[in-house]
Amino acid sequence: MTNKFVQGYRNWRKYRDTYNELMRLTQRDLDDLGINRVDIPSIARQSTKI
């Protein structure tokens, strides 16, 4: 049970860190990467999958 909790916390942190990093980018940076701002939550969720 503890291991599930720890992994869940790590996934949440990775999601949050990825989300925050992408949200800090300017629209121009996002355009260069081919990312729409509305796609950031989905991209951040994908970052937690191994």
**Position 16: which residue type?**
R
Over the stretch 4-48, which tens digit does the pLDDT of each residue have? Answer: 999 999 999 999 999 999 999 999 999 999 999 999 999 999 999
Record the pTM: 0.86
CB-based contacts of 40-44 (< 8 A; 24+ apart in sequence)? 43/18, 44/15, 44/16, 44/18, 44/19
- The rounded distance, in Å, linking the Cα atoms of 35 and 43 is 9
Q: Do the beta carbons of residue 19 and residue 44 sit within 8 Å?
A: yes
- CA–CA dist 5, 12 (Å, integer): 10
